[in-house]
């Protein structure tokens, strides 16, 4: 699968861990940085991943910052992105199955490498269920277009 990946300084180490695992798993990963623990601004990295996903260059995106929230908020500003913070495997299954999330965000302060790996696996292998959820995603898309 084609994936876009990025982190800020707080998420750098977890991003590196995930990047290695994803590549070893046969995924094509575009890493948008950052490349160290030096302080950077998370919106710059979230927007790069979100644009890649929204424009079809990547099938899904993965973001990491301290809490996961700033990255998700930033990514959700890009039309067509449904980013959510993952905190458990079960929650990530719902994020994909019901919400058709295309970007997953992690809080490195709250998520270790093994947890993140398991959640990423669920994120990449869970299909959108469609059905009654299609109607809800259509309403989200309508909200996105308001004021544009």
Any idea which residues carry the catalytic annotation?
Answer: 65, 98
The CA-based angle 38-40-42, given to 5 degrees, is 135
Q: Whose structure tokens read 């959820």? A: 133
Name the residue among 146, 132, 66 with its Cα closest to residue 105.
Answer: 66
Question: Cα separation of 85 and 90, whole Å?
Answer: 12
CA angle 71, 73, 74 (to 5 degrees): 65
Q: Which of 75, 29, 42 is nearest to 84 (CA)?
A: 75
d(CA 109, CA 39): 16
End-to-end Cα separation, the chain, in angstroms:
31
């Amino acid at each position: 699968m084609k994936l876009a990946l990025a982190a800020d300084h707080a998420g750098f180490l977890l991003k590196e861990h995930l990047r290695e695992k994803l590549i070893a798993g046969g995924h094509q990963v575009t890493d948008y940085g950052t490349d160290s623990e030096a302080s950077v601004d998370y919106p710059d990295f979230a927007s790069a991943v979100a644009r890649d996903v929204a424009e079809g260059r990547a099938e899904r995106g993965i973001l990491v910052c301290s809490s996961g929230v700033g990255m998700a908020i930033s990514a959700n500003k890009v039309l067509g992105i449904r980013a959510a913070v993952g905190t458990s495997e079960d929650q990530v299954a719902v994020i994909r199955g019901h919400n058709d999330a295309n970007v997953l965000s992690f809080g490195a302060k709250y998520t270790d490498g093994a947890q993140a790996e398991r959640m990423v696996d669920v994120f990449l292998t869970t299909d959108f269920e469609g059905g009654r959820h299609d109607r809800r995603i259509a309403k989200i898309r309508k909200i996105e277009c308001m004021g544009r």
